[in-house]
Amino acid sequence: RYTEGTLQRVLAASDDVKARRAAALALGLTGTPASVPAAAAALHDADQLVRRFAADSLWELWFRGGTDAQNARLREASQEPNPVKARAELD
């Protein structure tokens, strides 16, 4: 029942840690690439679970953000065992 904008605002400004956790999780499940800045900013939240949900949400948002070919390439890069190659591909 919440809009994406409402979830972004809750994640950025709520004093209620449970609300921020829920917003971070919900943005990963339902958000669009427009929520990437809010999720990225939440990587610096004081709460460890908010940070974890925000990181997971970023991956979900990125995997939904491009074309099918771009998303497939992102999946491949994220599974690359060589960290140097993975970083080069993700950059």
Distances (CA, A) of 36 to 33, 46, 59, 83, 84: 5, 19, 9, 23, 24
pLDDT given for residue 86 in this prediction:
86
For 71, the token pair is 């998303």
pLDDT given for residue 60 in this prediction:
92
pLDDT average per 10 residues of sequence, the chain (91 residues): 95 97 97 96 98 96 86 87 88 79
Q: Is the pTM of this model over 0.75?
A: yes
